[in-house]
Amino acid sequence: MTDLIEIKTPDLGEFENVPVIEIFVQVGDVIATDDPLIAIESDKATMEIPASHSGVIKEMKIAVGDEISSNQVLLVIEPSTAATAVVKEFAEQFVQQSAPVKSESANPPDHAPDHAKSGAPTSKAAAKAGECINGDKHATLVVLGSGPGGYTAAFRAADLGLDVILIERYENLGGVCLNVGCIPSKALLHVAKVVTESEESKEIGLIYRPPEVNIKQTLKWKNGIVNQLTQGLVGLAKKRKVTVIHGLGQFISPNMLEVTSDSGTESVSFENAIIAAGSQPIEIPGFPHDDPRLLDSTSALELDDIPKKLLIVGGGIIGLEMATVYHALGSKISVVEMLDGLMAGADPDLVRPLQKRIKSQYENIWLQTKVTQMKALKNGIKVSFEGNQAPENETFDKVLVSVGRTPNGNRINAQAAGVSISEHGFIAVNDQQQTNIPHIFAIGDIVGQPMLAHKAVHEGKVAAEVAAGLKSGFDARVIPSVAYTDPEVAWVGVTETEAKTQGLDYGKGVFPWAASGRSLSQGRSEGVTKLLFDNHTHRLIGAGITGSNAGELIAEAALAIEMNADAADIGLSIHAHPTLAETLGLAAEAFEGTITDLYMPKKK
């Protein structure tokens, strides 16, 4: 008889007697190493406990509501040899039950997937006329990429009853956003905020010693947040019975993918597919990309060390966010930007408060200037410039290149499926997220600007619903953009620059945060809220906010545009006082001419 194994709680550190809030498994389940078993919740965080061994669960030792501590027995399993037998038996039964039925006629059966009808080749052999060909694995829907758009699509499709396979190139689910993008960068921006606030607190009478930054602990904390979220996705996939395959997925026909991993290559056939393969940082030819001192948006998050002198190439959102982090941690920052202003896409008056603040903090901000050459030297990276504000050659300890991202459309061999791809790697889709091949959908960065996770999420839901046979379409009127700098800059809808270019008849209401009691009580006065209205209907058509928590505040404006709210709707909605949110109501009042918090002479 096989010896049983007790799976115990790992070391929980300072936490003891932590309540169990959810159990993901039960007696008889076959589990693999690292599968989530239970979720626990302390006063600081929620975390999942993974399996330390694989096998068949024979006995549960805990229940929801129990309190557990380190090294406590959670369940008892029969180890993997027995589990393998169970899985093998199930697989044999499945193969027998799902073996394709051979048709007596020359035509394939009605239930055969499209590639069987068209005779598209597979990785093993060309399809013979009339045969129904499945890959090593088959699903109703395959999702290629597990970023916010991809996992949302997979989970929504599973909730609608589809059999789903989710393919992810990297070890963890979550894509760029969760692993090397939105989430880790915002964690580090929080660190920067704490450091900055401690330094500026002397103005309110609080004196702190300069903080000592323990980079290893900071990285451990940041990685812990990422791990908590990615493991949460593993649990959600398991609950929904979404099959996850790790490896590089590429199309080989309109209904077949090949997935290559360290363990080999397998084919995956499908009836529908959703491409959610994302994008990657642009690399400028001629730069020494093999030198670890040349960073991109991914490597910059690793914080291997804090350089004394750091050059940021590109004055967009990502570059300025990372500048915020490294400045707070002690780097002397220089920013070089080809255009005549920072943060292209945002109105200059919204960027102005940020630019004024960082101009006094950073070593240099060079506009209308480009980098012409980089040379890796022993003592740093020597950079040459040209342009209106170009300095002499300078040497930096590290250089972060952040000049945008390029879609991965040309890296998944979608041409083999007949999918049309632009020379830049974008895939065109209709309102149902369908490509030119109707049963293949595409979402997220790969379908075009803006390259934002929240856009991909909504596109993913649409694609999943259409694949499931529902009537659905992507019909968002506006998509908000946020720069998590200090101060934050956020905008949604028509910008004032666009309104002027398009010749729109618009009016605006502006409320400066220097008149906001809430903002002043936080020690900040540089913020502004600007609302743009159609002069005929008075409906809100655009908004921009600069200041603390602008990224949170912009949501009200986005909803107002979607709901066709006008200035009176916003101004007459009672906002709590004192709050930053009331600046939207006050900006609407400024447009209406009813504001009392500012003196605005009447127009003659």
Q: Cβ distance 374 to 312 under 8 Å?
A: no
For β-strands 264-275 and 137-144, DSSP reports them as parallel
For residue 218, give the nearest of 330, 354, 377, 337 by alpha carbon: 330
Cβ partners under 8 Å of residue 494, min gap 6: 502, 504, 506, 532, 541, 542
Q: Cβ distance 330 to 306 under 8 Å?
A: yes
Give the C-alpha separation, 414 to 226, whole Å. Answer: 30
The CA distances from residue 228 to 30, 51, 92, 147, 179, in Å, are 23, 15, 36, 15, 11
3-state secondary structure of 188: helix
3-state secondary structure of 42: coil
Q: Is 577 a catalytic residue?
A: yes
Give the C-alpha separation, 197 to 591, whole Å. Answer: 34
Q: Classify residue 399 as exposed, middle or buried by CB count within 10 Å of its CB (0-12, 13-18, 19+).
A: buried
| Residues 358, 191, 316, 457, Cα dihedral to 10° | -150
Give the C-alpha separation, 430 to 166, whole Å. Answer: 23
Give the C-alpha separation, 123 to 121, whole Å. Answer: 7
Query: In this structure, how many other beta carbons lie within 10 angstroms of the beta carbon of residue 367?
Result: 17
The end-to-end CA distance of the chain, in Å, is 96
For residue 273, give the nearest of 108, 114, 133 by alpha carbon: 114
Token pair in block for residue 570: 């916003």
Q: Cβ distance 275 to 150 under 8 Å?
A: no
The catalytic residue among 111, 289, 424, 577 is: 577
- Region of 17 (left: φ > 0; alpha: ψ -120 to 50; beta: rest) is left
Give the C-alpha separation, 421 to 442, whole Å. Answer: 11
For residue 427, give the nearest of 444, 405, 439 by alpha carbon: 444
Q: Which residues pair with 482 in a beta bridge?
A: 490
Task: Tell me which residues are annotated as active site.
Answer: 577
